[in-house]
Amino acid sequence: MPDEVVTVALRQEDGFRFSVDFGGVPAGAWTVDENPPLGGGAGPSPSQTLAAAIGHCLSSTLLDCLRRARVPTRHVATEVHATRGRNAAGRLRILRMSATVRAEPVDPADRPRMDRCVAVFEEYCTVSASVRQGIPMDVTVERGAIGG
């Protein structure tokens, strides 16, 4: 199977506020912004969107495993904490992330099958596993007018 490229486009609206286009996915209008004092806090910050991506991936991956194992759940709820701080060079970074995923099987007799999913689901979460490994990244800055 060939590699899949996922594209997200951002366009500056004002200050540090950007609109986000998810490449044809009907996500509605998304606005992202830096928190004050840098930005206006008009939308989630980069740290919050990273935490949301990790939380969504973990939640979806566990839910997929539970459904495949035929373990009905009441709800899946996830909370992600991103600890920001300075690295050794004094640069602001996400130093640590933690996630808590809550899921309860409808039938307590399904707990052994749920436990099997809990033991393996993280291996299949694309986003958290990628972030945990570190992702090679190419960055290009193009100088010139923006079209459209």
Q: According to the model, what pLDDT value does residue 135 have?
A: 87
Domain with CATH 3.30.300.20 in the chain: 45-133
Q: Would the CA dihedral through 140, 144, 145, 148 be positive or negative?
A: negative
Overall average pLDDT of the 1-18 stretch? 88
Percent of the chain with pLDDT over 70: 99
Which stretch of 14-23, 96-105, 106-115, 138-147 has the lowest confidence by average pLDDT? 138-147
**CATH topology for the 45-133 domain:** GMP Synthetase; Chain A, domain 3 (3.30.300)
| pLDDT tens track for 104-120 | 999 999 999 999 999 99
Distance CA 97, CA 95 (A): 7
Tokens 């973990």 sit on residue: 58
Task: Please compute the mean of the pLDDT values over residues 58-80 and round it to a whole number.
Answer: 95
- Strand pairing class (9-14; 17-21): antiparallel
| CA 139 to each of CA 11, 30, 34, 128, 142: distance values in angstroms, whole numbers, following the listed order | 17, 23, 20, 21, 10
Rounded to an integer, what distance in angstroms lies between the CA atom of residue 29 and that of residue 20? 7
Query: By the 8 A CB rule, do 62 and 121 touch?
Result: yes
For residue 127, the model assigns a pLDDT of 95
pLDDT category of residue 148 using cuts at 50, 70 and 90: low
Candidates 104, 106, 58; CA nearest to 79 is 58
pLDDT at 130 over 90: yes
Across the range 81-94, mean pLDDT stands at 95
CB count, 10 Å around CB of 124? 16
Which tokens is 61 given?
């991956």
